[in-house]
Structure 1
Amino acid sequence: MEIQQALKLTIHKKWPSSPKKTPKDSEPITTTATSKLKWKKIFFHTKPKPKIQTPPEEFLCPVSRSLMSDPVIVSSGHSFERSSVEACKNLNFAPQLPDGTTPDFSTLIPNLALKSAILKWCHTTHTPPPLPHNNLVQQTSISPDTPNTNLVQTSISPDIVPTEDKLSDRDPILDSLDEKPPSSNLRRHAETDVPIRPTHLYTSSEESIATTSASTPPFQLATRPSCCYYSSPSSSEIEPAATPEEEEIMEKLKSPTQNIIEEALLSLRKLTRMREETRVQLCTPRILSALRSLVMSKHVNVQVNALASVVNLSLEKSNKVKIVRSGMVPPLIEVLKFGSPEAQEHCAGALFSLSLEDDNKTAIGVLGGLGPLLQMLRVESERTRHDSALALYHLSLVQSNRSKMVKLGSVPVLLSMVKLGHMTGRVLLILGNLGSGSDGRAAMLDAGVVEYLVGLLSGPDSATGSVRESCVAVMYALSHGGLRFKAVAKAAGLVEVLQKVEKVGSERARHKVRKILEMMRAKEVEEEDVDWEELLDSGLGCRTWGRLGGGLDESSANSAEF
């Protein structure tokens, strides 16, 4: 007992028990403690409200007013969601844009830069990326009695009910799918269908330019569960087995050593130089994708050999559209602007070769190839100038490209080349194409083309038959400009010159001359009351008369007839 008491005394001395504080005796909470508690409550109990970011206007489809998942550029230069364009085409409906213009849906070109910018904006602002409207085209199969405007607005609404949900109420195949558990459905698709590919992988064929008609997805793809959806491969993805030559070249192109890459490019350039079947076999998505990156190489030898290989591949007609759809045109334009003279020479040749295909003409113009080609008309390399002129001639056969060239100021540039005697025949052919449009005719009349060509026809250079025919072709295109052309032509003495050409020119030239003279004599009675001097002195009056007296529309003949 004594030992226990001694232990208790020792413990009490070492740890004396403190008296319990009553609530009244407790220390008051200071202001500092209160603020700390508030901060703790704010930190642990409040959630930051997400800020709703408004997407930029250029990221929205003009029709659906939603973020574009697959933006495409149409022939008129506007960007739309691909599914919106396909829906409008199925409905035979042309929407009117806020600026009052109507887009042209004849050609679709993937806008990869805009697509990348949209995805980057979504990642930066933590906005869910836009989902593709897989069933939007199917939604347009409705009664023709409904007005088109309402159809487009309702069918492209982002809150639309998926097609498979509507079909499941009446489709026996979907009913049979719903009766089974999801796992069995997925197992059945996995055993019978093509394996599902991850959505984040991209191939060069996914960057291809869309054709004007959309392919309808197979029925089994339209009725499968949404978790099993995948994009069906396009025809460009279904390629034959790779040849040993392709495998060997691709193996070397993947090498990190520059010498091995140059060796592969030299081999590809040699193989595609002479043999047509080899050009077809080696124009595959893998090789085009590799060449697309090597075209932008900083090593001159690599860049030049890659460009030469592209030129050789483009010589085959079946490869021309495939090369443009692989996304090769933007790198070519970039090198045409800033590359070495040898690289620019190959770029001009490639664009000329690609422009021979009608399906590529609008695409090259929309992607910005006209301006650099016009600049190449002034370089020192004769081959670059000639290929650029030929490319511009073929591209100017399309009305949208003609309008772009006029806006780029091509008429004064081309006229100055004719005056200097540089590629006179080819430049006159381009001017003849530009003269088939009203804007081109106005620009050429403003630049004094009629006066100079009259002097050229009456001079010694007119002895060349091709130059004479080209001048007559340009005059024939300008003769559809109405009273303004007649005023300028009479003042320049065109009638007398044409009468001389009619005697010594070729049959085609004489035929055009007779057409021009007939058009100038057609309204002589109406023109008797016109004061030509006053009309010529007044630029505004000339333009007004030209608009009122315009003969034919944009479809008038051009120099291609020669």
Structure 2
Amino acid sequence: MGGNGKQRSWKISFHRHSSQPKPGIQREPPKEFICPVSGSLMADPVIVSSGQTFERVSVQACTDLGFVPVLSDGSRPDFAAVIPNLAIKSTIINWCDAGGVEHPRAPDYGSVEKIVRASMGAREEELGSGIGVSEKELLKGVADKPPVNFSHAATELGHRQNYLYSSSEESVIVAASPLTPLPLATRPSCYSSSSSSSEIVTDETLTLGPNSSEEEEFVSKMKSLEVHEQEEGVISLRKLTRTKEETRVSLCTTRLLSALRPLMTSRYAVVQTNAVAAVVNLSLEKANKVRLVRSGIVPPLVDVLKGGFAESQEHAAGALFSLALEDDNKTAIGVLGALQPLLHALRSESERTRLDSALALYHLSLVQSNRVKLVKLGAVPTLLTLFRSGNMAGRVILVLCNFAACAEGRSAMLDANAVECLVGMLRGNELDSEATRENCVAALYSLSYGSLRFRGLAKEAKAVEVLREVEERGTERAREKAKRMLQMLRAREGEEEEVDWEEILESGGLSRTRYRVGGGGAKNLYAANSTEF
């Protein structure tokens, strides 16, 4: 009885302690305890690549929707990787205990998704007005990527030469972190063509200049029931937006795009080709990229890519690539059905269609939701087959690197025997440039990141001798990655490795359950289950 009485007294005392705040304890949580996205006290705080702390569910919702919020200090976070912020989590719990505040619970994904969508809607209203929106504001989402400088007028009329900037693919380097997207600055290869045979240059085309009735003239001709007037309208629009860059923004209006859209799927080759080419020209201006997608341009581009005329398909692939350069468009383009046609276009007879489709897929696969869709569409085996054949290896490996940076992509690549494929390409010295070899090593390194399967597959592929050669003769970044992989592969069987469980959990290699690490208390319960098998 005495023992029970003491226990009852202790329970009462504990309850009173937890419900009564200590004198001087702050009842309002400090600002650093609040998630910048959900606005609630964080239950599962994580640090993102750029250093800020968010609720984990908020990061997931933003990533799934392809949204990058603007924080109170004007900066934008980088969600490429997340690490649990155990220090702030412990501090929040201690603050709650001291103040008699209930421990926070992770918010429901649906509620956070609504908050994110509301923020996206507010930004769309701001940008959609088209008034006072600077190019700098539109490009904040891609500030970490090199600027893209298009010169359509020069290349459209010139000889079909380079598909990349003068820096060439050799300038494409792998970022230090295996989870950081690869920087790449390119332009659609359709800009490198000579004048199209479908572009009939008339005197009227050459004499059109900027004036107040310009839009009215184009709209009138493009809405005409006479095919020859439609041809004149789209040819003039294509020519003017190529030779007079200053007209691209002024002509990218809702009314003109509304008249242009139906002509993109015209049954007449000249009309269709020039209409799609005009969209490519309009997309060159950064301020037009978001506006074009919101106007409904993507569905007809997808239709052209599926079954349009050959030259129209080249321009459609180039337009999708150009629009995909804008971060705010990436998720929308994936949702509107462009991923599967772009994947199919990698086998097109036209080299320009293949190259621009590959680069469009690279930029679109920077978004997690698009990577998941592409995995479900069977993109990984297709890409590995193309890479093994050497067809566009330099560009295909860029897309594979994006897949290797996420759990779903790693799992699909390991299932598709990507380790043997990548090792085989390195062994055979079949890759066309040192940059491609470096990216191939980077893809292998990303596959090894948090994967419990990689060691066995690498040993089966006899990767040690290949990685040893890379360590001796590769670039600095490739040597460092090869060295780390060799250290793991050379570990004696049965020897316990040092494992950063938090890193593995975040990489998707393990899922949380009741697994005790060390001698800690209940806060140190994690999972030992691999999702990669």
State the TM bucket, normalised to the shorter chain: 0.5 to 0.7
Residues 93 and 216 of structure 1: CA distance in aligned 2, closer, same or farther (over 3 Å): farther
Q: Which amino acid aligns with 2:507?
A: D
Task: Note if 1:104 corresponds to 2:61.
Answer: yes
What SS does the aligned partner of 1:378 have? Answer: coil
Q: Which amino acid aligns with 1:438?
A: A
Aligned partner of 1:441 among 410, 417, 427: 410
Report how far residue 339 of structure 1 moved. 1.7
Report how far residue 299 of structure 1 moved. 2.2
CA distance in 2, matches of 1:337, 1:455: 34
RMSD between aligned residues? 4.0
* Corresponding residue for residue 429 of structure 2: 460
* Corresponding residue for residue 364 of structure 2: 395
Q: Which amino acid aligns with 1:495?
A: V
Report how far residue 446 of structure 1 moved. 1.4
Task: Note if 1:505 corresponds to 2:468.
Answer: no
Query: Do the aligned partners of 1:314 and 1:354 also contact (CA within 8 Å) in 2?
Result: yes
Aligned partner of 1:367 among 311, 328, 336: 336
Post-superposition CA distance 1:127-152 (Å, at most 9, x none): xxxxxxxxxxxxxxxxxx999999x9
* Corresponding residue for residue 129 of structure 2: 235
* Corresponding residue for residue 308 of structure 2: 339
Task: Note if 1:386 corresponds to 2:386.
Answer: no
Query: Do the aligned partners of 1:107 and 1:211 also contact (CA within 8 Å) in 2?
Result: no
Query: Do the aligned partners of 1:482 and 1:549 also contact (CA within 8 Å) in 2?
Result: no
Structure whose CA Rg is larger: 1
Aligned partner of 1:417 among 378, 383, 386: 386
* Corresponding residue for residue 31 of structure 1: none
Report how far residue 497 of structure 1 moved. 1.2
Task: Note if 1:212 corresponds to 2:120.
Answer: yes
Q: Which amino acid aligns with 1:104?
A: A
Query: Do the aligned partners of 2:390 and 2:430 also contact (CA within 8 Å) in 1?
Result: no
Report how far residue 366 of structure 1 moved. 1.3
Q: How does 1:304-323 map to 2 (within 5 A)?
A: 304-323=273-292
CA distance in 2, matches of 1:374, 1:463: 22
Residues 90 and 403 of structure 1: CA distance in aligned 2, closer, same or farther (over 3 Å): closer
CA distance in 2, matches of 1:320, 1:104: 24
Residues 238 and 330 of structure 1: CA distance in aligned 2, closer, same or farther (over 3 Å): farther
Identity %: 53
Q: How does 1:270-309 map to 2 (within 5 A)?
A: 270-309=239-278
Report how far residue 456 of structure 1 moved. 1.6
Aligned partner of 2:507 among 546, 553, 562: 553
CA distance in 1, matches of 2:213, 2:280: 22
Q: Which amino acid aligns with 2:122?
A: A
Report how far residue 214 of structure 1 moved. 2.5
CA distance in 1, matches of 2:364, 2:263: 26
What SS does the aligned partner of 1:276 have? Answer: coil
Post-superposition CA distance 1:321-355 (Å, at most 9, x none): 11011111111112211222222111111101111
Residues 148 and 419 of structure 1: CA distance in aligned 2, closer, same or farther (over 3 Å): closer
Task: Note if 1:246 corresponds to 2:140.
Answer: no
Query: Do the aligned partners of 1:482 and 1:548 also contact (CA within 8 Å) in 2?
Result: no
Give the number of equivalent residue pairs: 341
Residues 415 and 106 of structure 1: CA distance in aligned 2, closer, same or farther (over 3 Å): closer
Report how far residue 359 of structure 1 moved. 0.8
CA distance in 2, matches of 1:293, 1:93: 50
| Unaligned stretches of 5+ residues in structure 2 | 1-36, 43-56, 67-101, 134-209, 510-533
Q: Which amino acid aligns with 1:346?
A: H
Q: Which amino acid aligns with 2:348?
A: V
CA distance in 2, matches of 1:312, 1:415: 33
Higher relative contact order (CA 8 A, sep 6+): 2
Report how far residue 311 of structure 1 moved. 0.6
CA distance in 1, matches of 2:325, 2:409: 22
What SS does the aligned partner of 1:243 have? Answer: coil
Report how far residue 292 of structure 1 moved. 1.5
Q: Which amino acid aligns with 1:489?
A: A
| Unaligned stretches of 5+ residues in structure 1 | 1-88, 95-100, 110-144, 157-208, 218-231, 531-546, 556-562
CA distance in 1, matches of 2:230, 2:298: 22
Report how far residue 233 of structure 1 moved. 12
Residues 307 and 462 of structure 1: CA distance in aligned 2, closer, same or farther (over 3 Å): closer
Query: Do the aligned partners of 1:91 and 1:148 also contact (CA within 8 Å) in 2?
Result: no
CA distance in 1, matches of 2:127, 2:121: 16
Post-superposition CA distance 1:270-328 (Å, at most 9, x none): 01113321111211111111111221222222111110100111111111111011111
Residues 426 and 299 of structure 1: CA distance in aligned 2, closer, same or farther (over 3 Å): same
Q: How does 1:133-282 map to 2 (within 5 A)?
A: 212=120, 214=122, 235-236=129-130, 243-282=212-251
CA distance in 1, matches of 2:230, 2:432: 53
* Corresponding residue for residue 133 of structure 1: none
Residues 104 and 292 of structure 1: CA distance in aligned 2, closer, same or farther (over 3 Å): farther
CA distance in 2, matches of 1:310, 1:482: 43
Q: How does 1:471-510 map to 2 (within 5 A)?
A: 471-510=440-479
Provide TM-score, normalisation by structure 1.
Answer: 0.54
Query: Do the aligned partners of 2:64 and 2:369 also contact (CA within 8 Å) in 1?
Result: no
Query: Do the aligned partners of 1:438 and 1:481 also contact (CA within 8 Å) in 2?
Result: no
